């Protein structure tokens, strides 16, 4: 198939540090190319991909702005309209509106965000779009959509390493935002008597929270701040961690760091919000707890983590969240989306 894969203009593909959407796009592009599809990636010039790369912005435009997104998406869809594609896979809601003005092939749109009533109302005006939710929890909140499929994210297991015996620390890998619970993770590790390594950074919108709740906690002697990290640091961090802590305080749509940990054989210990109950298999790839006290008891030395089967965790994660499975799922979505277009083209040729 000829696939137009429209990423964001904010983070390169793959991301150097932060960038869940762009990491998913990178994995999808590589997987689709490997399976013989003609993929054109509309991203930023500093991206690295096996697909054909086209870009308006030579470098990633951070922080995100609405005008940058509109400029990037409208340019990409103009390029699509002037080319020959079977399907467009967009990651920005702006693509749905711009498709009204361009002669585009069918659009597949992945919802990467938490439930937003304004966006849900917006989507209602585009019933022909093929919507994809990244978890059943997310899909259940989009009640206005008549057609939405669920495709869990997937990653290449070969990029992650697994070790049967971890070191003594736990870790936290996410942006330093109140909804991710970095302050809770630090308190839990301290109460359990376990060192914690904190990977992430503060975004502008969370500065007040960071100053109020994080600054003094990050100075504790059992806390090691790592800042934003790339794969060179993330891979050994997860490989050697006793557990990844995810004390989230919101309805997380997915959580790529969770499956990165699982693919490293590192158990996820998380609160049961959003997608967590459908991603974490208790005792196999991690544990679901309801309170900070439960999390503390579970990660203490001498507890269940001491005998956790990390090889089994990795194998199960590769089965459920490997890149090949995600690519195969999207191939089926693309095929269903492209059928009306192909029929229309065939009828036009016959006429």
Calculate what percentage of the chain has a pLDDT beyond 90: 92
User: Over the range 175-213, which residues count as b (16 or more CB within 10 Å of their CB) and which as e?
Assistant: bbbbbbbbbbbbbbbbebebbbbbbbbbeeebeebbeeb
User: Mind listing the pLDDT tens digit for each residue in 186-215?
Assistant: 999 999 999 999 999 999 999 999 999 999
- Spatial strand order in the sheet of 244-246: 223-227, 196-199, 170-173, 244-246, 268-270, 286-288
| Residues 298 and 304 sit within 8 Å (Cβ to Cβ) | yes
288: pLDDT strictly greater than 80: yes
Angle at the Cα of 339 from the Cα atoms of 338 and 342, rounded to 5 degrees: 85
Q: What confidence tens digit (pLDDT) does each residue in 244-272 have?
A: 999 999 999 999 999 999 999 999 999 99
- HSE-CB of 191 using CA atoms within 13 angstroms: 14
Rounded to the nearest 10 degrees, how much is the dihedral formed by the CA atoms of 5, 10, 15, 20? -80
Locate tokens 């499929």: which residue?
A: 149
- The conformational region for residue 44 under phi > 0 = left, psi -120 to 50 = alpha, else beta, is beta
What pLDDT does 20 receive?
A: 94
Cα(29)–Cα(33) distance, rounded to whole angstroms? 6
Residue 64 to residue 86: CA distance in whole angstroms: 29
Is residue 344 over pLDDT 70? Answer: no
Distances (CA, A) of 164 to 121, 285, 305: 48, 14, 12
Gap between the Cα atoms of 96 and 342, Å rounded: 20
Among candidate residues 212, 228, 223, the one with its CA nearest the CA of residue 187: 223
For range 120-130, the mean pLDDT: 95
Q: What CA–CA distance (Å, rounded) separates 168 from 195?
A: 7
Strand-strand pairing, 107-111 and 38-43: unpaired
Percentage of the chain beyond pLDDT 70 is 97
**Domains in the chain, CATH or no CATH each:** 2-155+322-350 (3.40.50.2000), 158-321 (3.40.50.2000)
Rounded to two decimals, what is the model's pTM?
0.94
Kind of pairing, strands 196-199 and 107-111?
unpaired
Burial class (CB in 10 A: 0-12, 13-18, 19+), 216: exposed
For the segment 291-336, what is each residue's pLDDT rounded down to a tens digit?
999 999 999 999 999 999 999 999 999 999 999 999 999 999 999 9
Judged by DSSP in three states, 244 sits in strand
CA 21 – CA 61 distance, rounded (Å): 15
Q: How confident is the model at residue 351 (pLDDT cuts 50, 70, 90)?
A: very low
Instruction: State the pLDDT at residue 101.
Output: 81
271 three-state secondary structure: coil
Q: What is the mean pLDDT of residues 100-107?
A: 87
DSSP secondary structure letters along 158-210 = GG----SS--S-EEEES-S-GGG-HHHHHHHHHHHT--EEEE----GGGHHHI
From first CA to last CA, the distance across the chain in angstroms is 24
Q: How many CB atoms lie within 10 A of CB 250?
A: 15
* Measured torsion, CA atoms of residues 33, 36, 39, 43, in degrees rounded to the nearest 10: 0
- pLDDT band at residue 340, thresholds of 50, 70 and 90? low
């Amino acid at each position: 198939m000829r696939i137009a894969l429209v990423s964001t203009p904010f983070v390169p593909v793959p991301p150097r540090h932060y960038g869940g959407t762009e990491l998913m796009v990178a994995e999808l592009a590589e997987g689709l190319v490997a399976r013989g599809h003609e993929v054109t990636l509309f991203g930023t010039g500093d991206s690295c991909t096996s697909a054909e790369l086209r870009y308006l912005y030579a470098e990633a435009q951070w922080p995100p702005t609405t005008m940058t997104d509109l400029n990037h998406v409208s340019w990409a869809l103009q390029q699509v309209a002037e080319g020959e594609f079977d399907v467009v896979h967009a990651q920005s809601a702006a693509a749905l509106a711009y498709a009204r003005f361009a002669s585009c092939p069918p659009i597949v749109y992945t919802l990467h965000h938490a439930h937003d009533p304004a966006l849900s109302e917006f989507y209602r005006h585009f019933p022909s779009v093929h919507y994809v939710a990244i978890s059943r929890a997310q899909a259940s909140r989009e009640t206005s959509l008549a057609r939405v499929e669920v495709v869990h994210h997937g990653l290449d297991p070969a990029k992650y390493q697994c070790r049967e015996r971890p070191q003594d620390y736990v870790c936290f890998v996410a942006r330093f935002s109140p909804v991710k619970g970095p302050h809770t993770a630090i308190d839990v590790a301290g109460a359990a008597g376990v060192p914690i390594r904190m990977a992430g950074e503060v975004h502008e919108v969370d500065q007040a929270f960071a100053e109020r709740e994080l600054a003094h906690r990050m100075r504790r002697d059992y806390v090691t701040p790592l800042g934003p990290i790339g794969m060179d640091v993330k891979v050994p961090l997860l490989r050697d961690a006793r557990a990844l802590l995810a004390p989230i305080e919101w309805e997380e749509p997915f959580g790529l760091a969770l499956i990165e940990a699982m693919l490293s054989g590192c158990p996820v210990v998380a609160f049961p919000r959003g997608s967590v109950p459908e991603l974490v298999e208790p005792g196999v790839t991690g544990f679901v707890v309801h309170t900070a006290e439960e999390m503390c008891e579970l990660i203490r030395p001498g507890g269940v983590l001491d005998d956790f089967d990390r090889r089994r965790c990795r194998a199960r994660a590769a089965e459920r969240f490997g890149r090949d499975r995600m690519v195969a799922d999207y191939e089926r979505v693309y095929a269903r989306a492209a059928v009306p277009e192909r029929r229309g083209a065939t009828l036009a040729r016959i006429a």
